[in-house]
Chains A and B, each alone.
Chain A
Amino acid sequence: MSAGAVAIDGGALPLGGGLLALLRPALDALAPGGVVALRSAQPGVRQDLPSWCRVERHEYLGCERDADGRDRHLIRRGSLGVPRATDAAPPAEADPATGFAPRGARVEPGGPPYPVTIVRRAHAAPPEARALYDQAVAAQWDARALPWERVRPLPPSLERALGQIMTFLAENELSALYVPSKFVSRLHPAYAETAMFLATQLSDEARHIDVFLRRARAGGGGLGVSSVTTSRSLLALLAIEDFTEAAFLLSVLGEGTFLDLLRFVEQEAPDELTAELVRRARADEARHVHFGVAHVRHAMASDPSLAARLEAAVRRRSASMHGIDGVPAPIQDALTILAARGDDPPSVARGHEAFRALLAEMHAGRLKRLVHAGFTSDEAERISSLHTPNFM
């Protein structure tokens, strides 16, 4: 954009007959004070143009006659309502008045402020957002392509255990759909890549809920129990109003722990379809965890007090779970039976050991992810041990 000058040819167009489609963009490309020279063979423009300039607050400088007898009108661009350039890169702090204007667009001043509350890059736009969005788009899969017709009924105890596990997974994945969704509309659109990534996350969760419930029903065993422990744990997650705290509790700790859970279910899966659908879900969840860790690491890098605030959030949630000790019984029992591949006592003993090993792996995995996100090992130890017994 330059103050400069530009010449345009309006032919014989009347002001109300298309001329403005040439004149307005020409003026728009100039900074205030810039001049448009408009050649015109339409006599009415001599009278209409000064009026239009008056109304639009441009300055009509007058009309000269060209050598060929055509009019040459001069208009100086006014200074009101000049669109402001916005950064092509995510701004450190976003202006709610730019609304849904795509980043990099020129924005007319005076627009209404939008009710967005997540307006700081450090808490909204990890640099990895764009690449993770691209990965997510490339990794979408169709649940209908899985070989559902090959599912055979399992022995009754195993079928029940699998139904319980799938019920638990679906219930937790529903929370993973609801929790991020409430932050999408609070995110400033200048951080659209984050909103777009969250959209893929929501779509992933929808697909997971679908396949888990289909698997529960496919063998005829049906669904299991939803426990109060799970319900209370997920409500504590849903109640979080801070985006970074929610990302930390849901994606770093919750979905992170779920990676180990899903690996366990995949390893112990009674059939190939179950192993396959859990493997696919885990690949999606790994992306969500990656994004969550990037989000928290990015936020912590610019905010030294954040680590303490996130630890406090974990403590608050832990306090809301007081009196509840241990993994919800239905899922603990189901995981044990799954790993035992049946209900004869020696196998169940092995299944129990496998379950205990899973808890240890989950703790170790959380420590690794917490350190990766930027916590000290002491902080990581405290936070991991306060994590919900519900896994998510």
Chain B
Amino acid sequence: MSILLGAVAYDPKVVSIWEGIRAYFREQGVDLDFALFSNYERQVDELLAGHIDIAWNTPLGHVRVRRRTEGRSRSLGMRDSDRDFHAKVIVRRDAGIRRVADLEGKTLAVGSRDSTQARILPLHFLRQEGVELSRVSLLPFDTDLGKHGDTGTSELDVLRALTEGRAQAGTVGDLIWVNEQAAGRVDSSRLEVLWTTPGFDHCMFDALPALDDGKARAFQDALFAMKWDHPQHRRLLELEGLKEWLPPREEGYASLERALDEAGGW
């Protein structure tokens, strides 16, 4: 019984991640192999065509799989870091922006148009807060399209534009915002957080409804047995950006589905 998993090669480290996970799964007696795609659209198509068993999907990829299988796809697991993700609206301290309504008339730097955390959801939530986006001047960084924001490049572009004064406000995911601050790379005398969006969930292992139960169980058993305190596992978990694999849950994707309904993007 072999499992073919799809992942998107958004960075050279993706090869190290899946080579490592493949070796680990094989030690666990699970014959896992992987195929790398250059973009999530192709990966989703190949999953739906039955060419791969499991796709490691962004939230955008995940909700598309849900939609195209009419909610019957099987979700297998997610990272701890995928739960309760938030987006942040960061502002320059000198911009005089005290609340989200003040964004009107200002320049708002945003990430790639297929980035859930840096573009799709922060704009959706700002609209819900009553911000008239047509009165906000968007400065978009549409880098790495097809990678759904995985590279983080557009979020770093947003922070750079803010630091350099090309925008008064910008939207990024909380992960990048916190990590950049923790690493001392944010000038907090110039930038501060204005607003935090409601929470949403991020990546998911997706499979078709027809996935063999044995494969699904073998995959999940091996996945959930990875431990942060184990040297070999920890290296892989660090590369993949998590401390613990968790079971799937669907409620964290409702806001993204609404956002795509409202603004298009399905």
Which residues of A line the B interface, CB within 8 A?
Answer: 14-17, 20, 44, 47-48, 50-52, 54-55, 57, 80-81, 97, 109-113
Contact A97 B228 (CB under 8 A): no
| Pick from A14, A47, A52, A110: contact of B229, CB under 8 Å | A110
Which residue of chain A has its CB nearest to the CB of B174?
Answer: A51
Q: Which segment of B16-24, B34-42, B144-152, B190-198 sits at the interface?
A: B190-198
Binds A, one of B44-52, B80-88, B125-133, B257-265: B80-88
B181 at the interface (CB under 8 A from A): yes
B228, A54: Cβ atoms under 8 Å?
no
Residues of chain A lying within 8 A (CB to CB) of residue B179:
55
B97 to chain A, nearest CB (A): 13
Q: Is the CB of A16 within 8 A of B228?
A: no
A97 nearest CB neighbor, chain B only: B231
Contact B84 A16 (CB under 8 A): no
| Of the residues A16, A50, A80, A109, contact of B188 by C-beta under 8 Å | A16
Check A55–B178 contact: CB distance below 8 A: yes
**A-B contact list, 6 entries, CB within 8 Å:** A16-B188, A20-B182, A44-B192, A51-B177, A57-B80, A110-B230
Tell me which residues across on chain B come within 8 A of A111, comparing CB atoms.
231
- Report how far A97 CA is from B84 CA in the complex, Å: 33
Report the Cα distance A110→B80, complex, angstroms.
Answer: 18
Contacting pair B228 A52 (CB below 8 A): no
Taken together as a complex, chains A and B put the C-alpha atoms of A14 and B188 apart, in Å, by 7
7 shortest A-B CB distances, which residue pairs?
Answer: A16-B181, A17-B188, A110-B234, A109-B229, A51-B174, A14-B188, A16-B186
Instruction: Confirm or deny: B175 has a beta carbon within 8 angstroms of a beta carbon on chain A.
Output: yes
Chain B stretch 61-104: residues in CB contact (< 8 A) with chain A: 80-81, 84, 86, 88
Residue numbers in B under 8 Å from A80 (CB-CB): 228-229, 243-244
User: In angstroms, how far is the closest chain B Cβ from the Cβ of A125?
Assistant: 24
Q: In the complex, how many angstroms separate the beta carbon of B99 from the nearest chain A beta carbon?
A: 12
Which residue of chain B is the closest to A111 with respect to CB atoms?
Answer: B231
Q: Which residues of B contact A50 (CB under 8 A)?
A: 196
Cβ of B189 under 8 Å from chain A: yes
- For B146-182 the 0/1 string (1 means CB < 8 A from A) is 0000000000000000000000000000110111111
A48–B133 Cα distance when bound, in Å, is 25
Distance in angstroms between the alpha carbons of A54 and B196 in the assembled complex = 14
User: Are the C-beta atoms of A47 and B196 separated by less than 8 Å?
Assistant: yes
Known: A14-B192, A20-B182. A51 touches B88 (CB 8 A): yes
For the side of the interface on B, what is the size category? 20 to 34
Partner of B231, one of A15, A55, A57, A110: A110
Question: Known contacts A14-B188, A48-B177; is A112 also within 8 Å of B231 by CB?
Answer: yes
**B29 interface residue (CB < 8 Å to A):** no
Task: Indicate if B214 sits at the interface (CB-CB under 8 A).
Answer: no
Task: Give Cα A80 to B230, complex, Å.
Answer: 11
> Is B193 within 8 A of A48, CB to CB?
yes
Q: Given the complex, which residues of B lie within 8 Å of A44, measured CB to CB? A: 188, 192-193
> A51-B177, A110-B234 are contacts. A16–B229 as well, Cβ < 8 Å?
no
Q: Is the CB of A47 within 8 A of B182?
A: no
Q: Judge whether B12 is part of the interface by a CB distance below 8 angstroms.
A: no
Q: How far is the CB of A16 from chain B (nearest CB, A)?
A: 3
A47-B88 in contact (CB<8A): yes
Inter-chain contact B86/A51, CB cutoff 8 Å: yes
**Interfacial chain B residues near A97, Cβ < 8 Å:** 231
When the two chains form their complex, are residues B228 and A81 in contact, meaning their CB atoms are under 8 A apart?
A: yes
Contact B192 A81 (CB under 8 A): no
Residues of A within 8 A of B189 (CB): 17
Which residues of chain B from 184 to 221 have a CB within 8 Å of any chain A CB?
A: 184, 186, 188-189, 192-193, 195-196
Q: Shortest Cβ distance from A111 into chain B, in angstroms?
A: 6
Report Cα–Cα, A218/B230, bound state, in Å: 60
Cβ of B86 to closest chain A Cβ, rounded Å = 6
- Shortest C-beta distance, B186 to chain A (Å), equals 4
User: B89 — nearest CB in chain A belongs to which residue?
Assistant: A47
Bound Cα distance A15, B185 (Å): 12
Closest to A55 in B: B178
Distance in Å: Cβ of A51 to nearest Cβ of chain B: 4
The closest CB in chain B to the CB of A43 belongs to B192
Inter-chain contacts of B235 with A (CB < 8 A): 112
Q: Do residues B195 and A55 form an inter-chain contact, with CB atoms below 8 A?
A: no
CA distance A57 to B181 in the complex (A): 17
Query: A15 with B178: in contact, given A54-B84, A57-B243, A81-B243 (CB under 8 Å)?
Result: yes
Tell me which residues across on chain B come within 8 A of A48, comparing CB atoms.
177-178, 181, 193
Select from chain B the residue with minimum beta-carbon distance to A16.
B181
List of A residues within 8 angstroms of B243 by Cβ: 57, 80-81
Question: Chain A CB within 10 Å — which of B189, B228, B233, B244 has the most?
Answer: B228
B186 to A, closest residue via Cβ? A16
- Which one of A16, A81, A110 lies within 8 Å of B182 (CB-CB)? A16
The minimal Cβ–Cβ distance linking A186 to chain B, given in whole angstroms, is 19
Chain B neighbourhood of A16, CB < 8 A: 180-182, 184, 186, 188
**Closest partner residue, chain B, to A52 (CB atom):** B178
Chain B 217-261, CB within 8 Å of chain A: the 1/0 string? 000000000001111011100000001100000000000000000
Residue on A nearest B229 in the bound complex, by CB: A109
From B188, B192, B196, B233, contact of A51 by CB (8 A): B196
CB distance from B193 to the nearest CB of A (A): 5
- Given the complex, which residues of B lie within 8 Å of A109, measured CB to CB? 228-229
Chain A, Cβ-Cβ closest to B173: A51
Give the CA-CA distance A31 to B129 in the complex, in Å: 40
Minimum distance in angstroms from B235 CB to a CB of chain A: 8
Chain B residue with Cβ nearest A14: B188
CB distance from B23 to the nearest CB of A (A): 15
Q: Please measure, in the bound complex, the distance between the C-alpha atom of A16 and the C-alpha atom of B180, giving whole angstroms.
A: 8
Closest B residue, CB atoms, query A15:
B181
Assembled-state Cα–Cα distance A355/B224 (Å)? 74
